Amino acid sequence: MEILMPEPQIYVERTLAIIKPDVIDKEEEIEDLILRSGFHIIQKRKLQLSPEQCSNFYAEQFGKVFFPNLTAYMSSGPIVAVVLARNCAVSYWKELLGPSNSVRARITHPHSLRALYGTDELRNGLHGSLSISSAEREIRFMFPEAILEPVPTGQRARDFLNLYVKPTLLAGLTALCKEKPADPM
């Protein structure tokens, strides 16, 4: 009799999500939508950033007209920073967020998170990383203790499995078969 088991999943891509100050009271509701959308929450923390920390986090936006308002808004109250993981996490998260302007999002992407929770372009409810490299930088910023090692893919992943994982599994399973325990669990 063959037992059907789900294919193991390795989530190799992570992204940063931030629940912004004006929607912090909707945290549980938003997290539920995130989980139902196929993401896994790897790390989460609630914090309040200083204006200087906000300036450092949004350094790429420095010099733009909205920068002072952005740093003032993001330091105005607590936020929740969340590391999300799934296949193609960055692109799926951006899709779930919708356009950065919440007014436009309500017209073009009415079921997106920014359409549901945002009020305008600045107070759009949630943040999402724009790329894999910005996700890594932002995760390191919000979770300095996080270990972000590059996960091997393709041939490098197969080589790693063949060199380290398979021999260990083979040795363990062979030893288990030789002992033939009455209750292997």
Residue 4 burial (CB count, 10 A): 4
Is residue 76 helix, strand or coil? coil
Residue 109 among the catalytic residues:
no
Q: Write down the catalytic residue from 40, 109, 111, 127.
A: 127
CA distance 141 to 61: 16
CA distance 46 to 80: 4
Residue 129 in contact with residue 16, Cβ under 8 Å?
yes
Beta bridge partners of 44: 82
Residue 24 in contact with residue 79, Cβ under 8 Å?
yes
Instruction: Pinpoint the alpha helices (H) of the chain.
Output: 27-36, 51-57, 67-74, 89-97, 102-108, 113-117, 132-142, 154-160, 166-179
Residues tagged active-site: 127
